[in-house]
Chains A and B, each alone.
Chain A
Amino acid sequence: MERNAQHAFDAEEVMAYLDGELEARRAAALAAHLVSCSECQEVAQGFRALSERMLSFEVERPSVGMNETMLAALNSSNSLKKTVPSGSEQNKPWNWRRMFARPYVWAFAGLAVVALIFYASIPNLLTAHKAAELAVQRATGLSAPLEDRQAFSATTFKTPTEPSGTDAIVGGAAPEPASPASGDELKAPENVGPMIVQTASLNILAANYNEASTAIEKLAAVHGGYVEKLGASAQTGNARALSATLRIPTKQLDGFLADVRKLGHVEREDRENEQVSDQYVDLQARLKSARATEQRLIELLGTRTGKLQDVLEAERELARIRGEIESMQGQSALLVHRVNYATVQVNLNEEYRQVLGSGTVSTGTKIRNALVEGFTNLEEGAVALLVFVFAVGPSLLFWVAILLAPGWFVWKRFRVRARG
């Protein structure tokens, strides 16, 4: 079948011509050429002979049963969409090889694996979510009513609300503390009952800030308390805020808090009761023993005579004991004061209304600030993206590899099958 390269038509074209697959113009040219070219005639004859020869590979006719089976299948398919299971392969109850060769089986298996992973991780997520909820409830004091929690000093959580450093401290403006009578203070309030130090904290959003801020001081005075610390901040373009630490007589606490709540919307309220009976009792016992020691030393110094050194030593000891006694008395007084006077932290915030044109910042500065902020955001965003990629990338790659490998395998098989 080797052909001369100089020849106008090659053998493949002759073959295509005989198969009726040559384009019309080329076919006409080849037909004309064939009349005169004996070489091409020979080639054409070769192809024809081969086709004839191949036809000798005959097969018998199919059996008549095939017709009947097919017509039965056609009739049994009431709806054409319905599948008609028939034939030997479909009648087989289960064929693992066929099943695993199907792409959708693999896809389904992949989905199932993903679902399983989710299912396994959901309980953990729920637990974390519940814990977070519980923490929030505890922190906001929603888990138990205030009245109940007064009895449980240990279960409440204190939330420190300290005035920020930027606030202008206007302590000087605060009214002079109503100095408690020192004689009362040293006495324990009720020796029979437990000694409890009460602390309360309130965040209040007031519609009328001026009225509320003056009312706080007045209320403290009315209830026999005093202002311990007062801070206020008023920045341009921001709501004003007042932070006050008040000391209110314990018996007046509930009444005072009720009055303060009327000043505005209570955003948050915390109360904490600390049991200090054991501290107090311990302090008193130590005080008593120190006083006894003091008394004995005084007696010793008065009655006994001895070396000067001994006398000096006894006096030193007496001075030390007296110092201790005073310190313990001070501690005791402080403790009693804390028990008698509850600490109330009030944070008053103004319900801010934006005022048009109130800004003191020029447009240029605003644009510059916006630009700086924009660049900062860009930088932070890029960093966050990098952090995300590094944090999640490896595991993502891992899962993609795990899930893609079977997918690739299925695709490969599918392609191979499609090609036959």
Chain B
Amino acid sequence: MALFMNSDDQLILEFQQGAREAFVELFERYREPIYGFFRRRLEHPARAEELAQECFLALLQNVQRYEPRASFRSYLYGIAIHMVAAERRKSGREVAENEKLDSRAVEGNAAENSDAGIWVRNALGHLEQSEREILMLREYEQLSYGEIAAVLRMPVNTVRSRLFRARAALKNQLLPVK
């Protein structure tokens, strides 16, 4: 399939021209990453799936307004970040986010996560929100510094320094001090 050879940015432009298979391809590429993005940030798997769907729907609906200013990935994750923020505001439990990250590991789907995973969740929960977001976008979504900067609308240097701080803090919690 020729579409496999195309970059994300080419695909979204093709979809803008009306090529449906381009969207199907993009969806296939980002279905799991986007779900993972919401799943790691939200409590309930069902809600994560709903939001992932909404994220793709938003992409579908607003494709005509898409402008290739930054990479497609930063555009897509920008939508996702926006939705998570809205979801947290809506649930009104943003303040208690840290505690939630702690607790849900225990009560949620502990079966699917190893002990190590639960530890990581706990540790992430203790990070400052902006640093946690940068770290997660880097480690799980594999975004470059530039893409993270575009998604969170901050300078690249800030991304780098905060990422370093986040990693240092997490390392202190997770890895044994030598």
Residues on A lying within 8 angstroms of B by beta carbon are: 1, 11-12, 15-16, 19-21, 46-47, 49-51, 53-63, 65-67, 69-71, 73-74, 77, 80-81, 83-84, 86-90, 97, 417-420
Q: Cβ of B160 and Cβ of A420 under 8 Å apart?
A: no
Is the Cβ of B170 less than 8 Å from the Cβ of A86?
no
Given A50-B171, A87-B57, A419-B152, A59 and B36 contact (CB-CB distance below 8 Å): yes
**Mask: chain B, 140-167; 1 = CB below 8 Å from A; 0 = not:** 1000110000001100000011011001
In the assembled complex, the CB of A415 is this many whole angstroms from the nearest CB of chain B, namely: 9
Distance from B55 Cβ to chain A, minimum over Cβ atoms (Å) = 9
Told that A50-B174, A57-B113 touch, could you supply 6 new A-B pairs with CB distance under 8 A?
A53-B116, A57-B120, A57-B121, A60-B45, A74-B60, A419-B153
| A84-B153 contact, Cβ under 8 Å, with A53-B175, A57-B121, A420-B133 | no
CB closest chain-B residue, reference A11: B164
In this assembly, does B104 line the interface, its C-beta being within 8 Å of a C-beta of chain A?
no
Nearest-CB residue, chain B, relative to A75: B20
Contacts of B145 in A (CB 8 A): 16, 19, 21
Q: Does B124 contact A (CB under 8 A)?
A: yes
A1/B171 contact (C-beta < 8 A), A67-B31, A73-B57 known: yes
Q: Which of A50, A80, A89, A418 sits near B175, CB closer than 8 Å?
A: A50
B72 at the interface (CB under 8 A from A): no
Give the chain A neighbours of B50 by CB distance below 8 A.
87-89
B76 nearest CB across to chain A (Å): 14
Bound state CA distance, A360 and B151, in angstroms?
78
- Chain B residues with CB under 8 Å of A65's CB are 49
Main secondary structure of the interface of A (DSSP, over half): helix
**Taking the complex as formed, is B114 at the interface, i.e. its CB lies under 8 A from any CB of chain A?**
yes
Q: A50-B170, A54-B139 are in contact. Are A87 and B53 (CB under 8 A)?
A: yes
For residue B110, CB closer than 8 A to chain A, the reply is no
Q: How far is the CA of A90 from the CA of B145 in the complex (A)?
A: 33
Can you give 10 A-B contacts (C-beta < 8 A)? A20-B144, A50-B175, A60-B39, A61-B35, A62-B32, A66-B52, A67-B31, A87-B50, A419-B153, A420-B133
**CB proximity of B174 to chain A, nearest CB, Å:** 5
> Interface size of B by Cβ–Cβ distance < 8 Å?
59
Q: How far is the CB of B144 from chain A (nearest CB, A)?
A: 7
A55 (CB) vs chain B CBs: closest residue = B139
**Beta-carbon contact of A59 and B40 below 8 Å:** yes
| CB of A370, distance to nearest CB on chain B (Å) | 57
- Please tell me if the beta carbons of A60 and B153 are within 8 angstroms of each other in the complex: no
Per the 8 Å Cβ criterion, residues 30-69 of B in contact with A are 31-32, 35-36, 39-40, 45, 49-50, 52-54, 56-57, 60-61, 63-64
Q: Are A66 and B64 in contact (CB under 8 A)?
A: no
Does the CB pair B60–A77 fall under 8 Å? Answer: yes
Within 8 Å of chain A (Cβ to Cβ): is B109? yes
Q: Is B138 an interface residue (CB 8 A)?
A: yes
A206 to B41, CA, bound (A): 92
Question: B133 to chain A: which residues have CB within 8 Å?
Answer: 420
Inter-subunit contact B61/A83 (CB<8 Å): yes
Q: Which residues of chain A have C-beta atoms less than 8 A from B40's C-beta?
A: 57, 59
- Contact check, B24 vs A74: say whether CB atoms are below 8 A apart: yes
State A11–B114 Cα separation when bound (angstroms). 30
B82–A418 touching, CB < 8 Å: yes
Q: List 8 A-B pairs, minimum CB-CB distance, nearest first.
A: A56-B116, A62-B35, A57-B120, A59-B39, A420-B85, A12-B164, A87-B54, A420-B81
Instruction: Specify the chain A residue showing the minimal Cβ separation from B154.
Output: A419
Q: Which A residues are CB-close (under 8 A) to B138?
A: 19
A73's nearest neighbour on chain B, judged by CB, is B57
Chain B: CB-nearest residue to A54: B139
Within 8 A of A (CB), among B75-120: 81-82, 84-86, 90, 109, 112-114, 116-117, 119-120
Q: Which residues of B contact A49 (CB under 8 A)?
A: 175
CA distance A46 to B170 in the complex (A): 11
Choose one: B109, B114, B175; the contact of A46 (CB below 8 Å): B175
CA distance A419 to B39 in the complex (A): 20
Would you call B124 and A15 a contact (CB within 8 A)? no
With CB as the reference atom, state the residue of chain B lying closest to A80.
B63
Q: Does B1 contact A (CB under 8 A)?
A: no
Bound form: Cα–Cα A19–B39 in Å: 24
B117 touches A58 (CB 8 A): yes
Contact status B120-A84, CB under 8 Å: no
Q: In whole angstroms, how far apart are the Cα atoms of A84 and B20 in the complex?
A: 15
Residues of A within 8 A of B84 (CB): 420
Instruction: Return chain B residues, CB-CB under 8 Å to A70.
Output: 27, 31, 53, 56-57
How far apart sit A419 and B139, CA to CA, in the bound complex (Å)?
A: 20
